Amino acid sequence: MYNQSVNSQAASCWLVDAHLRIHTPAGPGALPKDFGKGRPGQSFSEVIPPAFHGEVAAIFARIRESHGELSTKVRRADAPGGTSRFVQLVVLPAAEGPLYRCSLREVELDEDIWNETRHQSPADQAIAVPAPGNLPNPFELIFDRAPIQIAVFDPQYRFLYINPQTVKDEALRQWLIGKDDFDYCRYRNRDMSLAVKRREKLEAVTRTGEPQGWEETHTTHEQKTVIISWTLTPVFDEARNIRMIIVTGSDLTQIRRAQQQVREEQEKFMLLARHVKEVFYIRDPAMTKFIYVSPSFEQVWGYSCQQLLDDPKTWYRAVHPEDKPRLKELDVLSAPEQQVNTEFRIIRPDDAERWIQARLFLAFDHQSNLSYVVGLSEDITERKTAELALQNQARQFREIFENAPIPMAIADMAGKLALVNEAMGSTLGYTREELLACNINVLSVTEDMQENLLLRQQLLGGQTDSIQLNKRFVHKNGQILHTLLKASLMRNSPGQPTHFLGQVVDITDRKKAEDALTSQNLELAKINAELDRFVYSTSHDLRAPLTSLLGIVYLMEQEPVSESTREYLNMMRTSINRMDAFIGEITDYARNARTEVAIEPLDIEQLIRECFQDLHYLPRAGTIRKDIHAPLPGPVYSDGRRLKIVLNNLISNAILYHNSYVESPFIRAEVTSEDSLCVVRITDNGKGISPEHQGRIFDMFYRASDDTKGSGLGLYIVKETVEKLGGAIEVSSVVGVGSTFTIQLPLRR
């Protein structure tokens, strides 16, 4: 501890002017003997110990403003005689004009206290000790080192003491002694409302004699916002008069910031808990009660949060009876890293059944003591329903797969069979176990290996999702099986291929039938070609004699013959023409059946005119009026040769079977376009066809009566030819009125 002496034997006093020159040397005393009295005009710095040189200028700079006493720190001073003392320099204005009374006071200081300053540099080594005042000396050092802010006011609310925690600037602390808060605020350029507030609290202490307290927020001169909690405590003398007021301040800035952060985190937590769909809850370590449960509990469980807080068993009673045994695992938690994740069903008050996924974990404090049990519960009904549906679909797929009559197999990406059904084993002659040990290539014909690789590349390359082809497999007995294989890729949820799915249809018998049919078709094509040659040859060989006979008939008609002979020649000509027409019909029929349709643009009006012109030789053809009406905007696309055969037959029939008793016989050809069809109508006012014959006139070799002049092939050939062109034909006829044949052909562009 330390003690100060202020008697004349322990102090030296000088009168010094504002320029630090000695005006009056020091009087008698112990210290001047050691350090020197000085002389008028001498620099004061030459007299005082060197340890004070750094502080003297600062003291004199402040003393001009304070007009009160200021003192330096206590320093060790070595006297010329070899002695060492702890001294303090005190300066105060003198009564003798603009002079200052300077005193060196010796301080009795414990060496242990001085040794605590060894960490300081020699120039800074000192201990702050206020000038003698009203504080009990034993407490000053304690106040200086206290971690809180301390200030002492006299009954007039002037500073008696300020510790370094309150004001760090030592010179400012010394200057404030004897001044009040208003002086401090003016010096710091602070809002005077701060001083007013403090004065109100000091006055309240004086008025009530009771401690006062408040929190104060202000900005320091370093522009930092601080929060201080002040406590004002009165100190009384023996007469219960206030001797001084001790003010202590605690910096609550960090505490308040931490509290604000806690509040913000709590607000975030509550906001999250209110809006998250999962149920969040906190239980005590013994799990006997709920400390907190989020509002989503009401939506999931159907009970109110208050019901659960009042009755912690509410949630358990809602658990489905079949699922309660599995909740025993919730009791095995013991370590921080342990967690429980389980699923169970609950029955809500409205009897709705819901699936719940519960996760539970423990929360420990920094001393590893269990603080809380924390849980999350999520309604997974939709997900669980989807999972159960998926499982049901998988089971159904497995049943369908196993029992399908079509051989089916699933192979991995390397071609190893992973799943086969019973039909696959029956088709290939293997057991299921034997197939599952095989690669698909082992079951394939060696010559088809390249085809297998191409199939794999097409599927994996994304060129197609599935492919169908004819594939050969080797039966266990070595027989080659012809199959129709449909292969596709199976993918996982990210879309990556995982397996090949193959469906096989055994077409061995069909393949044999197809091969036989192909052989038969080739043979039939050969026969048809020979028939075509025969028809051509026959028609040529038959028509050549007929042409010769017609020539002879013509020559005989040029000779003078009897009327009977001329009648016989006419009958011969008619028979020869009929035979020639029959041969022509047979030739048309053969060509229509075996030649392809050749589509070309046609001027159908011109085609009809040509038909009329070609048939002009028929008896009485010149006496029949021919009308053509074909207002089409462009050509008709069809097979011209076939269409001419059709028109020739219909027009020739109209000429041959005209009604010779009508005054003006006619044949009208009309062409229109109706609903994407080219419609051709051939109408006459001839003899007509009786209803009982109309349904059969398109049959082969059908003749309505013995008087019919044709062979019965003409209308049959017409119908076959129209159908070959993709069209249809129909007839409308009334006996004695006439007939209309309507042809409908595709209107091609």
What confidence tens digit (pLDDT) does each residue in 478-523 have?
A: 888 888 888 888 888 788 888 888 888 888 888 888 888 888 888 8
Q: Does residue 213 carry a pLDDT above 50?
A: yes
What confidence tens digit (pLDDT) does each residue in 651-686 have?
A: 988 888 888 888 899 999 999 988 888 999 999 999
β 625-629/666-674 pair status: parallel
> Averaged over 536-552, what is the pLDDT?
67
To the nearest 10 degrees (0 to 180), the angle between helices 604-614 and 640-656 is 50
Residue-wise DSSP of 516-544? HHHHHHHHHHHHHHHHHHHHHHHHHHHHH
What pLDDT is stored for residue 8 in this prediction? 32
What confidence tens digit (pLDDT) does each residue in 403-454 have?
A: 888 898 988 888 888 888 888 888 888 988 888 888 888 888 888 777 777 7
Q: Does residue 29 carry a pLDDT above 50?
A: no
How far, in Å, CA of 233 to CA of 208, rounded? 11
CB-CB contact of 192 with 185 (8 Å) = yes
> Averaged over 36-48, what is the pLDDT?
83
pTM: 0.37
User: Length of the chain in residues, anyone?
Assistant: 749
Q: Does residue 721 carry a pLDDT above 60?
A: yes
How far, in Å, CA of 570 to CA of 551, rounded? 13
| Token pair for 480 | 């080659």
What pLDDT is stored for residue 3 in this prediction? 40
What pLDDT is stored for residue 4 in this prediction? 37
CB-CB contact of 671 with 630 (8 Å) = yes
| Token pair for 234 | 């009165």
What confidence tens digit (pLDDT) does each residue in 322-364 have?
A: 988 877 766 555 555 567 788 899 999 999 999 998 888 888 8
Query: Which amino acid is present at 237?
Result: D
Confidence tier at 174 by pLDDT (50, 70, 90): confident
* Closest-CA residue to 237 (of 134, 159, 316): 134
- List Cα–Cα distances, 93 to 44, 106, 183, in angstroms: 16, 20, 19
DSSP state of 130: P
Q: Which of 122-126, 136-140, 191-195, 316-320 has the lowest mean pLDDT?
A: 136-140
